[in-house]
Structure 1
Amino acid sequence: GATADPRAVDEWLRLLGGRPDRVEATDSARPAVPDGLAIKIYPCCYALQRPISALLEAGATSLDPAALRRIVVRTPAGTVAPLVHHRPQTGLEGKFSLEYAVAATLLDGQTGFASFTDEAVRRPAAQRLVQLVEVELSDGGDGLLSGRVEIELHSAGTSTVCDLRLPPGAPQRPPTGPELARKLEDCLSGTGLDPAAITWDSAAALLHHHLPPTAPATSSPTSPT
């Protein structure tokens, strides 16, 4: 029952820096993740981690969303390659929409799973903010964290500028304990589990308990003897 944008299949290798026309031998002396492991703090495309963090760290969530009249996002073109949905209508589309990520952050503050449901994306307040977002792309950018992101928020007679190079969770900016704890709490929302009570010894049993039951394998009919 799952759906996906076919562009994810077409583009994934290029986005990861691969060459579909060439197979290279593995060099065991090179690190498996050359630039370091990135961790997503927010449950959406990694390309959205920086704009969300820019708004949060600049205190933009203290602004009245209803008073905003114009929002301008400036970033290198390469940083938005996966963000293909400009007027999203579903939660999945919202996870790949720069315009919606800006809107959701301004409305919700710390964006979590609840920010990326169909209902959340279709909120009139969110749809209004999505329409206000203008994206100005500069040339270049060979990665999702190339350059910087700058976001200007304009209301009547005032403007706020948010600017960020590296979001929390970037390889050069590892997430803090509270940031990871907040993510884990959001992941376990609705399960009744206390994140602080989970240990390495108990994790497997808890996961098994909360996974949906596995459907029995369908046996092939046998010929009568």
Structure 2
Amino acid sequence: MTMNPNNPLHAFAKWTSETNSDWSDVALDRARNAFIDVIAVIIPGTDEPVTRKVYDLATEWGRGNCSAIGFPEKLSAPMAALVNGTAAHALDFDDNFDPAKAHATAVLAPALLALADQEKLSGTQLLDAYIVGLQMIGRVGQGVNPYHRARGWHATATVGAVGSAAGCARLLRLNPEETAHAISLATSLAGGFMSQFGTMTKPLHSGLAAAGAVQAALFAKAGITAGTDTLHGTTGMGTLMVGQDVEELREGMKGKAEHGQTVTFATTDIGNPLQIEEYGLKVKRFPNCGSIHRALDGLLALKAEHKFDKNNVKEIFVRAPAAHLRNLMYEKPQNSMEAKFSLEFSLAAGLLNGNVGLKDYAESNISNPEILELLPLIRKEYVEKLETDFYTQVHVTLDNGETVSTEVAMPVGSTARPLSNEQLWDKFDACVEGYLDKQIKSTVKKKLEHLADENDISSLMAVLS
């Protein structure tokens, strides 16, 4: 293959393969924290029906020498990534990544953990591949968003698979040509629609993308070749997964790119800015769709400030970007998965309890009459503006006629309002309660805290399995 620096696929591959690994402390700390957070949510995610069903099939499809967190059977690397990726997204408690408009770590971390487990690689190599893979998830996302996501593609499943394949190629130390084939191959393994939200298939998207990323890198390592125009060509991802009006959309984004999204694949300065430093990750405070978080943060802040409860609220009115509210299609959810995509249910639970946690989305709580009676109080307005151009507004009208209001630009857990280390470990403890005994939890926490010092990731995975 002749590498063309003007071809974004080749530019991405060259940077992925050859960039130095002298990462800043900020980058390394954020990468480590991403693994702490994703493993925290994978552990209870293994108990979800979708994960158990996927694991049962994975044991039939491919045994090997890799661990699936929470399960006894060893699996092949793609099947371990499939199971762990599904578990990572099963509770919708995993992080968001703005440049990609995707749940990045739920795809990237399971893919890398599977390969690091198989190859017995170190924590330092794992963190390096995560930083590189996240950069590529962001760069691919910036090349197709915001319209890719706005038009109904589940970017976790599409952008996540392609960028994570680059991370896997980095971990396997593939050369630039092999890396280009891995990224290109991944476009043929990328797919998923937002019409699957609220069903078991949504978390399965994350598992499929993680497995696809592993497969793409291993295919490339084995010498399987792929096309050179699969990102920017007329029949590439940038046109087919955005739309035939991509040129018009691209013109419209000039001067107002959101999270670096230009609907154009970069060919220069691929590593500048480093996205884990520039944008960071949104670590979730609540186990529901991230499109709910600004409104829920606002409601809980108003509740804490003004000391109201369910008995003296007449109405909760939310004005939010339409792209957020379109994700929240279940006004009267019938099950736990639908409830995670319900603004009404989540705000009602927050009004009732003063917080929202995993227990609020238990199947037994979905028909809670105290929550159901509050659903009619909640009203919403779709605002056709970008999320950076319009902050989410929350207006609460009390029974005395007074209206108290706030607006939220960025949710708790974002780089603008990050969780402290204490809050991150509190989330970990809450997630693993009832799943890990005291000794195992202590061992896992110590290994995660000092992830860069792990000589062999398979020892961590063995404890987790």
Normalising to structure 2: TM-score of the pair? 0.38
Of residues 152, 155, 163, the one that matches 1:13 is 155
1:200 and 2:455 correspond:
no
The structure with more strand, counted as a fraction of residues: 1
CA contact (8 A) 1:103 1:130 kept: yes
Unaligned runs of 5+ in 2: 1-48, 52-89, 91-151, 160-236, 247-263, 452-456
**1:28-47 alignment, distance < 5 Å:** 28-30=270-272, 31=274, 35-47=279-291
Residues in 2 aligned to 1:65 and 1:207: alpha-carbon distance in whole angstroms: 45
What per-residue deviation string (whole Å, max 9, x for no partner) do you get for residues 29-65 of structure 1? 3545673322112111111221221122233594221
With 91-100 and 168-177 compared, the bigger mean Cα shift is at: 168-177
Tell me the residue number matched to 1:88. 333
Give the equivalent residue in structure 2 for 1:97: 342
Change (3 A) 1:40 1:76: same
2:394 is aligned, of 131, 145, 151, to 151
Matches of 1:136 and 1:47, distance apart in 2: 14
Kept in 2, the 8 Å contact 1:71–1:152? The answer is: yes
Pairing 1:135–2:380 present: yes
Letter in 2 for 1:45: C
Kept after mapping to 1: 8 A contact 2:319/2:383: yes
Match of 2:417 in 1: 173
State the distance in 2 between where 1:186 and 1:146 align: 35
Residue 154 of structure 1 aligns to a residue whose secondary structure is: strand
Unaligned runs of 5+ in 1: 5-9, 212-225
Q: Cα 1:119–1:26, aligned 2, differ >3 Å: closer, same or farther?
A: farther
What is the CA deviation profile of residues 165-184 of structure 1, one whole-angstrom value per residue up to 9, with x for unaligned ones? 22211133222233213311
Residue 2 of structure 1 aligns with which residue? 50
Letter in 1 for 2:271: A
- 1:49 is matched with 293
Q: How many Å separate the matches in 2 of 1:176 and 1:84?
A: 32
Q: Distance in 2 between matches of 1:41 and 1:189?
A: 17
Q: Match of 1:151, SS? A: strand
What secondary structure does 1:106 align onto? helix
Q: Is the 8 A contact 1:89 1:118 kept in 2?
A: no
Alpha-carbon distance in 1 for matches of 2:341, 2:287: 11
User: When you count helix as a share of all residues, which structure comes out higher?
Assistant: 2
Determine if contact 1:51/1:149 at 8 Å carries over to the other structure: yes
Moved more, 66-75 or 52-61: 52-61
The alignment covers a number of residue pairs equal to 206
Deviation at 1:126, TM superposition (A): 0.9
**Which region of structure 1 is more displaced relative to structure 2, 50-59 or 61-70?**
61-70
Partner-residue secondary structure (3-state), 2:285:
coil
Alpha carbons of structure 1 residues 208 and 174: separation in structure 2 relative to 1, 3 Å: same
Corresponding letter in the other structure for 2:404: T
Q: Could you list the per-position Cα deviations for residues 99-131 of structure 1 after superposition, in whole angstroms to 9, with x for gaps in the alignment?
A: 111111112222111011122222111112122
RMSD: 3.6
After TM superposition, give the deviation of residue 208 of structure 1 in Å.
Answer: 4.5
- Closer/same/farther in 2, CA of residues 29 and 201 from structure 1, 3 Å limit: closer
Residue 319 of structure 2 contacts residue 393 of structure 2 at CA under 8 Å; is this kept in 1? yes
Given candidates 187, 190, 215, the residue that maps to 2:434 is 190
Stretch moving more, 54-63 or 178-187: 54-63
1:196 deviation in Å?
6.4
2:367 to 122, 127, 132: 122
Instruction: State the identity as a percent.
Output: 23
TM-score normalised over the length of structure 1: 0.73
CA distance in 2 between counterparts of 1:107 and 1:207 reads 39
Partner of 1:12, secondary structure, is coil
